Amino acid sequence: EAGSNHAHGVAIPVTNNGALAMRACNEIIAEASEAPLREFRLTAAQTVKELDNGKSAKVWAFNGLVPGPELRVTEGDRVRIVLNNKDINEGVTVHWHGIVLPCSQDGVAGVSQNAVKPGEQFTYEFEAGYPGTYWYHSHQASSEQVKKGLLGKLIVEPKNDAFDYDEEDSLLIQQLNGTYLMNGSTKDWNIEAAPGSTVRVRVINAANETDTVSVNGAAYRIIAMDGHDLNEPGLLDNYEFQMGAGQRYDLLLQIPQQGKVIVASKKSGLKATLGTGSDPVISSDPSLFSFVDYGKPVSDKSKARLSFDRNYSVTLDQNLFVNTINGKSFHEIPPMMVEEGDHVKITITNAGGGDHPFHLHGHVFRVLSRNGQPLSGSPVYLDTLLTQKGEAFEVHVIADNPGLWMMHCHDLMHASMGMSMMFNYE
């Protein structure tokens, strides 16, 4: 069976012994709990989607929808999702991007499970531990299956929100076989919001490329990155920011008494309009958000760690169309080995070949520095780090979730062409 699993389009097993790998993952089972149970059903099937631009597209959809249904739960809930595959011959899985869960529920074909074949079913169960904005997608031949439509939003609402707002909505940007969609549409999105009201906008970059997002018509705050709240984030005005593939940014803004607010995705050319009235003045010279002014330190306790149990480096590059990590591609890359409890520092360098949004499964990491400069404001916790050519970051991972985990570029083409490796516990 192992030969039919393709985490990104390249054949798994990732170790020399796929069966052994899978057993190691499955030994780690979810703990029983008394938390409220939320149940969902996702059925993957081929279908045709009528686009708003008059065209139709052959897609692979969850429950007939592209994107799939939004899954919305509350922090602490027990979430159970029954996945069925109707007719996707190569099989499907669901990976819960950004969620910290037991390895056996991570949905990676060939690592934590075999791909679910037509007529088969798999039940995922995990606790929605950290509130935030997430998404889900197939992790069998993901470079193909995500662009065919097998993805959706996953929102974990906080029990107690650190921020006040009147409305919330989310914008999922994806490429469906190359066509950009916002919330499943080729048209602009509209968010109804009264003048003076405060709105939280969850932006999910589910496309394969870096996007530049601009906000016009109101000053705004970036309140969370990859689902993790920032501490006292500052008010941004006339700023744009970049989002790597796979990343999520939550925005908080207030609708003016007169006029609209526009949140625009430059890559897709699509935008969301909030409120009514006249269009905002679009300033021509926004400054690019430079990873600096996103909030304040929390306390001495949260001071970035300086010494580590393990130090690793990963250099992301492209040679002759082969995407490499430390000069090697997927099957040749030794796993990054850790022991439970380790504090691990990973230095991530982008040596070329495009933007590389680096994603680690099953963990959250803290960004320590960028190009040798320590981050000075709010602690930043991510599961996907956008790196651009020439940049080097240091991140801190606490090895607190035993199992076998993938680490890869979330440009899924790059991942399928070799820019993937494992983060494994001894």
Peptide bond into 286 cis (omega under 30): no
Q: Could you say which DSSP state residue 363 is in?
A: -
N residues, the chain: 426
Range in contact with ligand C2O (rule: CB under 6 A) among 38-46, 60-68, 252-260, 404-412? 404-412
Closest approach of Cβ 341 to Cu ion, in Å? 30
Query: Residue 409 interacts with Cu ion (CB under 5 A)?
Result: yes
CB closer to ligand C2O, 366 vs 410: 410
Applying the rule CB under 6 A, the residues between 324 and 383 that interact with ligand C2O are 359, 361
Query: Residue 6 interacts with Cu ion (CB under 5 A)?
Result: no
Q: Write each residue from 239 to 258 as x if it is in contact with ligand C2O (CB under 6 A), else as -, in one continuous string.
A: -------x------------
Closest approach of Cβ 109 to ligand C2O, in Å? 11
361 binding partner (options ligand C2O, Cu ion, none; Cβ < 5 to 8 Å by kind): ligand C2O
248 binding partner (options ligand C2O, Cu ion, none; Cβ < 5 to 8 Å by kind): none
Q: Could you say which DSSP state residue 103 is in?
A: G
Pick one of 139, 356, 361, 366: the residue that binds Cu ion (CB under 5 A). 356
* Tokens describing residue 360: 């680690």
Which DSSP string do the residues of 143-179 spell out, in sequence order? HHHHHHT-EEEEEEE-SS-SS--SEEEEEEEEEETTE
Amino acid identity for residue 312 in this structure: Y
* Among 261, 265, 166, residue whose Cα is nearest residue 213: 265
Give the sheet arrangement for strand 384-387, strand by strand.
336-338, 420-425, 404-409, 356-360, 384-387
Closest approach of Cβ 97 to ligand C2O, in Å? 4
Q: Could you say which DSSP state residue 326 is in?
A: T
246 binding partner (options Cu ion, ligand C2O, none; Cβ < 5 to 8 Å by kind): ligand C2O
Query: Residue 411 interacts with Cu ion (CB under 5 A)?
Result: yes
Q: Write each residue from 116 to 155 as x if it is in contact with ligand C2O (CB under 6 A), else as -, in one continuous string.
A: ---------------------x-x----------------
Spatial CB neighbours of 143, under 8 Å, sequence gap ≥ 6: 8, 9, 412, 413, 415, 416
CB closer to ligand C2O, 111 vs 263: 111
Spatial CB neighbours of 169, under 8 Å, sequence gap ≥ 6: 191, 199, 200, 201, 202, 272
Closest approach of Cβ 14 to ligand C2O, in Å? 12
Range in contact with Cu ion (rule: CB under 5 A) among 86-94, 136-144, 185-193, 350-358? 350-358
Query: Residue 97 interacts with ligand C2O (CB under 6 A)?
Result: yes
* Among 206, 88, 93, residue whose Cα is nearest residue 140: 93
DSSP H stretches of helix in 8-59: 18-26
Pick one of 49, 78, 95, 200: the residue that binds ligand C2O (CB under 6 A). 95
Q: Could you say which DSSP state residue 219 is in?
A: -
CB closer to Cu ion, 113 vs 208: 208
Task: Give the integer Cα–Cα distance in Å for 43 and 35.
Answer: 25
97 binding partner (options Cu ion, ligand C2O, none; Cβ < 5 to 8 Å by kind): ligand C2O
Residues contributing to the site for Cu ion (CB under 5 A): 356, 409, 411, 414
Residues contributing to the site for ligand C2O (CB under 6 A): 95, 97, 137, 139, 246, 359, 361, 406, 408, 410
